[in-house]
Chains A and B, each alone.
Chain A
């Protein structure tokens, strides 16, 4: 699969990633190269092979539904770019 500039822009939007306009052709070339490379996988027939998500087939553990953490809001918000009254600040969303 070869990607063109328009497709790169669409994917970048899906990933919420700003990319300089003049670099788009280079990304298109590199991404097309990577996709061509990974398509070597198609050399093997995987019909009927169960996809593997975890090497030891382990599943997510569940824990009892109990409160185990203390509230550390101030501690964690100390490293935030902008907060006010315990809330994270972002540009106005609703006029």
Chain B
């Protein structure tokens, strides 16, 4: 059962080939057997899973089951799950049993999906390799000595290794797309405001967006149908019509205008990765798409601007972790200031501390204009570039990452080197636009991700373009050796 996609599992459950309980038991056994070598899930919830599976089977027997009832899912450990530890990959929240569900979690429960557990991630989603997790790094199923990417690294590894058919992730600077690319799966970052952030632990609130990760575009569409929509509990949720994302999947892409940002094909792009992307472009030409070069002249400034805006927002968001109301508290504090400082100093890891310090500095008196205001101005230039390009073409296409998965520890010492692994994904978060990564082939024996970028709220078109590619190719079906 583990090798089936969500769409296949939904059809099999509907046809009565097996029950949701049988499916859940089978995947829990697979997680038990294989998660140790991957560290993809950091909490497994068998009791809740079996109870939810029984409820899904009962609903089906009564004819009341929705299309995804009984489908197993795992949530990135950034989404609050009532009664289940929600650690955000941090010692700070190692003891945090969430007292409520995130809206995404509630919606999935209501649709009858079965949560198997919570996935590993970079601490507070700050990282591109899953190496900053308090629980140790998740590993890439294609090569256990390599990173799965991050911050949603455990989510991507779990799907690639067929431990679970679909997962949630979050993307602040590429944290869905980059791990999806490095693990050879599909992932979608929706338009900012499309998916509720309520109960999704905040990193950089003006950039954070939750989205689905799975093996195919069709599965992403099925999951997005459940996740997307206005939520009054999220003050930045946007009230915009939610289509059925599966409806347009099979539409022809003949005449589709694809733009290739020339900045994404220049210096810094690995030659073998570049060849894989060129081959994918040829495939789109065969499918009838028209391809032309476009330019995003300010894109090289997006990583620097991001590393002002994201840490600034993080330094504010993470001020709530003070050792008083929930989370880690240091032993025997001398006084209140000692309680604050040591609880935070001991509870946060090095990368989180670095970003809090950068953000605090950027927002401090005398430096605000030089850093934060300047970064927000650059942010507008970055978005304006995209809007101009997307007036000429329907979608943009390029590599998701400059290279394939790197080795654990390879980018350890210099934070800036790690930041640059998100060079093609970060601009999109600044612009708020939707984007996705799908498997496009292999370089050096490792998966290569193809990135598609669309206009505001144009997720249905992105999914359509991805689905047509996946009907014409079988890269998305490739399975890491040993995980068949």
Chain A residues within CB distance 8 Å of chain B: 3, 8, 11-12, 14-19, 27, 30-31, 33-35, 37-44, 46, 49-56, 58, 60-61, 63, 72, 75-76, 78-82, 88, 90-93
Contacts and interface: CB of A to CB of B under 8 A. Distances in A.
Interface stretch (B242-250, B321-329, B437-445): B321-329
B360 A53 contact: no
A78 B96 CA distance: 10
Contact of A11 (B344, B361, B378): B361
Given A53-B206, A88-B325, A18 B344 contact: yes
Contact of B298 (A39, A44, A80): A44
Interface in B341-389: 341-342, 344-346, 348, 353-354, 356-358, 360-361, 364, 371, 373-381, 383
Nearest to A28: B357
Given A15-B315, A55-B383, A90-B324, A46 B238 contact: no
B88 interface: no
A34 B301 CA distance: 14
A43 B373 CA distance: 15
Given A27-B354, A56-B456, A79-B99, A16 B340 contact: yes
Nearest to B192: A55
A79 B327 CA distance: 8
Contacts of A33: 414-416
28 contacts: A11-B364, A14-B360, A15-B356, A16-B319, A16-B337, A16-B341, A17-B357, A19-B353, A27-B353, A27-B354, A31-B358, A34-B415, A37-B307, A37-B419, A44-B301, A50-B380, A51-B377, A51-B379, A53-B206, A56-B432, A56-B456, A60-B236, A72-B99, A79-B96, A81-B329, A82-B329, A91-B334, A93-B335
The dominant DSSP class at the B interface is helix
Given A44-B301, A91-B336, A76 B99 contact: yes
Contacts of B307: 34, 37-38
A85 B348 CA distance: 30
A89 to B, nearest CB: 9
Interface string B301-331: 1011101100000010001001111110100
A49 B340 CA distance: 39
B336 A93 contact: yes
A46 B381 contact: yes
Nearest to A16: B340
Contacts of B378: 41, 44, 46
A72 to B, nearest CB: 7
Q: Which 9 pairs of residues, A with B, have the shortest CB-CB distance? A: A55-B432, A18-B345, A51-B376, A46-B377, A52-B380, A81-B329, A18-B341, A49-B377, A16-B340
A95 B335 CA distance: 11
B402 interface: no
Contacts of A63: 232
A30 B352 CA distance: 13
B268 interface: no
B416 to A, nearest CB: 5
A42 B378 CA distance: 9
Contacts of A81: 323-324, 326-327, 329
A27 B357 contact: yes
A52 B99 contact: no
A39 B233 CA distance: 37
A38 B193 contact: no
A15 to B, nearest CB: 4
B228 interface: no
A61 B238 CA distance: 10
Contacts of B358: 31, 34-35
A12 B357 CA distance: 6
B463 to A, nearest CB: 21
A60 B300 CA distance: 30
A70 to B, nearest CB: 12
Nearest to A61: B235
Interface in B206-225: 206
Given A11-B360, A17-B341, A90-B339, A78 B353 contact: no
Interface centre among B300, B336, B378 (most CB of A within 10 A): B378
A17 B334 contact: no
